Chains A and B, each alone.
Chain A
């Protein structure tokens, strides 16, 4: 995991609110929202990629901080 990388909701419209990403986030910063996933506290993201790798819908992407 590279430093200075955090999660981005790259394709929010594709999210089906399944909650899988929420269950694999070690810092508990993701929640299912009204319609799609939401980030509670971006600062706490450690860029571990757990959520991006398991998301069945290509919604999430870890990106460099300056892209977020």
Chain B
């Protein structure tokens, strides 16, 4: 595939460490985009801060690299002002679930037509491995040298509960599935969210003695299961695996936020304010 037209060739090679899963996410995204019928010139990709935030710097689209946690807030503004644009957000688990968690909840609640790709490496990668809300209980982090005491956080369930209409989870060991999920998320009219499990062999891997990227990918495969198979498991077994695939899909384009906003504008123009 001629992926070059989707990349800012002069900015490569990227700064991500050897074996960083973020590159596989970018790779899968580009292939999904190429298969969609979206116009590259009518697409905006927006990121926050972190290793994941660097993704937009390599994409040959109109891009915004914003402040930490605020990518969804900027994206909401872009989409409200220009509903005809395809707006994609690339965010980290720290960026999207900690400092930016509130924006995530409210964008999902509004069901605004954004595609959010969350790079989940379960750690603050860029700043050297502090725990994030997505760090599993017991894992080591520079801010949890004796093990993380926080409870595990099912972010996909939170986004589903808040009202997001397309929720999926993929992982970098299976880039074919990742691409399919991104394509489905891009096509979905409404808020779509794809949690993307990504290996960080440096800030996460070293502290947790997780081995190199190849070993981390093997572990990822062991720790995950197809969503349909996961549903057959007992409550106890379910806790031990991350389900992968489309976790929720509700097709209701009329409930999308900019559609509703347009309706109210037309109503007021036709009938005057109530």
A, B in one complex: yes
A residues 2-25 in Cβ contact with B at 8 Å: 11, 13-14, 16-20, 22-23
Contact partner of A56 (CB less than 8 A), chosen from B1, B19, B173, B179, is B19
Chain B residues, Cβ within 8 Å of A58: 3, 7, 12, 23, 27
Chain A residues, Cβ within 8 Å of B1: 52, 61
Check: B162 CB closer than 8 A to any chain A CB: no
Number of interface residues of A (CB under 8 A): 18
Q: Given the interface contacts A55-B27, A58-B23, A58-B27, does A14 sit within 8 Å of B12 by beta carbon?
A: yes
Check: A28 CB closer than 8 A to any chain B CB: no
Contact partner of A11 (CB less than 8 A), chosen from B12, B19, B24, is B12
Report the minimum CB–CB distance from A28 to chain B (whole Å): 14
**A54 CA to B13 CA in the complex, in Å?**
16
**A31 CA to B19 CA in the complex, in Å?**
15
Check: A53 CB closer than 8 A to any chain B CB: yes
Number of interface residues of B (CB under 8 A): 28
B residues 1-44 in Cβ contact with A at 8 Å: 1, 3, 7, 12-14, 16-24, 26-28, 31
Chain B residues, Cβ within 8 Å of A20: 19, 24, 213-214, 217
**A56 CA to B28 CA in the complex, in Å?**
9
Report the minimum CB–CB distance from A48 to chain B (whole Å): 11
Check: B176 CB closer than 8 A to any chain A CB: yes
Does the CB pair B21–A56 fall under 8 Å?
A: yes
Does the CB pair B14–A19 fall under 8 Å?
A: no
Does the CB pair B176–A57 fall under 8 Å?
A: no
Does the CB pair B172–A54 fall under 8 Å?
A: yes
Chain B residues, Cβ within 8 Å of A18: 18-19, 212-214
Does the CB pair B175–A53 fall under 8 Å?
A: yes
Chain A residues, Cβ within 8 Å of B24: 20, 54-56
B: residues with CB less than 8 A from A are 1, 3, 7, 12-14, 16-24, 26-28, 31, 172-173, 175-176, 179, 212-214, 217
